[in-house]
Amino acid sequence: MSGSLVCVGTGMTLGAHISPIAKSHIEQAEVVFSLMANGFAEKWLEGMNSDVRSLQCYYQEGKNRNITYNEMVEAILAEVRNGKKVVAAFYGHPGVFACISHRAIKKAELENLPASMEPGISAEDCLYADLGIDPGKTGCSHYETSQFMFYKRNVDTSAHLILWQVALAGDKSLAKFSTGSAYRQVLVDLLLEYYPSDHQVILYQAKGIAIDTMRADTIALTELVDAELLMHTTLVIPPCSKMQTNEAVLAKLAAIDAKEERAKKGPVLSLVL
Amino acid sequence: MSKVIQVLEAMAQLSNADVAQLIAQADITAEQAEAVINKDVTSLERQLDICPDVYCLLVPAEDDEKEEDDDASDIKSIVNG
């Protein structure tokens, strides 16, 4: 009998966000691997299945996280190869700013092992609800902070810019659990190319359990250098400019609209007597 | 499942949770109840022997095409060698 893998998300707030299908997968699994955002959620998961194995033990400061994640993937797939019905449960959404699920599923498929992913409520979803942001209003870009720094990106200051894992800004080693003010200054200097120094930005953290406090601290951009940042702190940068109309595209669209209007009305007939 | 975890779960699921009633029904210790009412996460972690050092990190994705190009150049150097 072939093993199988389903990667699920448990959402951000313990109990509030888990979907019925994710809960069912967890309860029915023979083995559950877990990566939760806090110890309460780990215990909560342990209450749903008798064989829950935390993947936290693979993290180690000073150890390249690519190695950590590959070890996690191998631990998960070992049980799938053993013929077990495996569920890998991650906080939030298992595939949003999270590579383990994607790597595990890709590898499972290469070995002809059935594997799939169920979506979950991510920190991004909580951010929109908690901060009253509609990404559709002016647009929204999301980047992992260090990736944003390593590569040249096009920054649209008329849209929201969300930078994840800002506490690890600029870590090329992938082995640190935080970087200091010198690295953050590099990030701030980069952002100052686009935003004014007093631009108000938000440090956001979603609630992990019901008695937690959601964090939404507004600071000036330059204050980011010395701000208190945790592993799960997200930097939200609101727009600082208005959207600019694209006159050339609008002119093309107006021409199409006019042509369609003329086609609707049909040819103009004149009666000549 | 731990009773206090069940209380946290119920508090998160009910839109108008009566915390006092949930605590009374759950039969948790007075110290746990106090931590829940006071929203004292640190105290609850200590009481439940929860390790506060839980990591939730991710790796900034690298350019896949760049990785493929690197692989290709490695193969060429082997052939030419």
Distance CA A86, CA A41 (A): 19
- Beta-strand relationship, A200-205 and A215-220: antiparallel
Describe the crossing of helices B30-37 and B3-13 by its angle, rounded to 10 degrees. 30
Comparison of pLDDT for A103 and B54, the residue scoring more? A103
pLDDT per residue as tens digits for the range A9-22: 999 999 999 999 99
Contact A209 B54 (CB under 8 A): no
Contact B59 A99 (CB under 8 A): yes
pLDDT per residue as tens digits for the range A83-102: 999 999 999 999 999 899 99
pLDDT band at B66 (very low <50, low <70, confident <90, very high): very low
Nearest to A15 among B9, B36, B56 (CB): B9
Q: What is the 3-state secondary structure (H, E, C) of chain B?
A: CCHHHHHHHHHHHCCCCCHHHHHHHHCCCHHHHHHHHCCCHHHHHHHCCCCCCCCCCCCCCCCHHHHHHHHHHHHHHHHHC
A151 is an active site residue = no
Rounded to two decimals, the ipTM of the complex is 0.85
A195 is an active site residue = no
Q: What is the pLDDT of residue B79?
A: 36
Distance CA A141, CA A73 (A): 28
pLDDT per residue as tens digits for the range A155-199: 999 999 999 999 999 988 888 888 899 999 999 999 999 999 999
- Is A44 within 8 Å of chain B by CB? yes
Contact B58 A98 (CB under 8 A): yes
Q: What is the pLDDT of residue B55?
A: 64
Torsion of CA A18, A22, A25, A27, to 10 degrees: 10
pLDDT higher than 70, residue B18: yes
Percent of chain A with pLDDT over 90: 86
Indicate the burial class of A128 (C-beta count within 10 angstroms; 0-12, 13-18, 19 or more).
middle
- Is A128 within 8 Å of chain B by CB? no
| Distance of residue A215 Cα from the nearest chain B Cα, in angstroms | 14
Residue of B nearest to A41 (CA): B5
| Distance of residue B79 Cα from the nearest chain A Cα, in angstroms | 28
A124-237 maps to CATH 3.30.950.10: yes
Distance CA A138, CA A157 (A): 10
Contact A9, A118 (CB under 8 A): yes
Nearest to A212 among B41, B48, B55 (CB): B41
Arithmetic mean of pLDDT, A31-43:
95
- Nearest Cα neighbor of A156 from A140, A145, A133, A144 is A140
Q: What is the pLDDT of residue B56?
A: 65
- Is B36 within 8 Å of chain A by CB? yes
| CA–CA–CA angle B52, B53, B57 (5° rounding) | 130
- Is A229 within 8 Å of chain B by CB? no
Q: Which domain holds residue B65?
A: 1-81
- Is B41 within 8 Å of chain A by CB? yes
Name the strand (E) or helix (H) holding A86.
strand A85-90
CATH homologous superfamily of A4-121: Tetrapyrrole methylase, N-terminal domain (3.40.1010.10)
Distance CA A212, CA B17 (A): 15
SS3 content of chain A, % helix, strand, coil (to 5): 40, 20, 40
A128 is an active site residue = no
Nearest to B1 among A47, A56, A144 (CB): A47
Q: What does each C-alpha distance from A178 to A62, A255, A256, B42, B61 come to in angstroms?
A: 11, 54, 53, 21, 18
Q: Please report where in the chains the tokens 């601290």 appear, as a residue.
A: A217
| CA–CA–CA angle A22, B41, B35 (5° rounding) | 110
Report domain extents, chain A: 4-121, 124-237
Distance CA A202, CA A233 (A): 10
pLDDT per residue as tens digits for the range A210-234: 999 999 999 999 999 999 999 899 9
The residues pairing with A115 across neighbouring beta strands, listed in sequence order, are A5
Nearest to A150 among B1, B45, B60 (CB): B60
Contact A209 B61 (CB under 8 A): no
Mean pLDDT (chain A) is 94
Q: Name residue A79's amino acid.
A: E
Q: What is the pLDDT of residue B15?
A: 83
Instruction: Tokens for A239, please give them.
Output: 């727009």
Chain B CB contacts of A164 below 8 Å: 58
Q: Please report where in the chains the tokens 């209380």 appear, as a residue.
A: B7
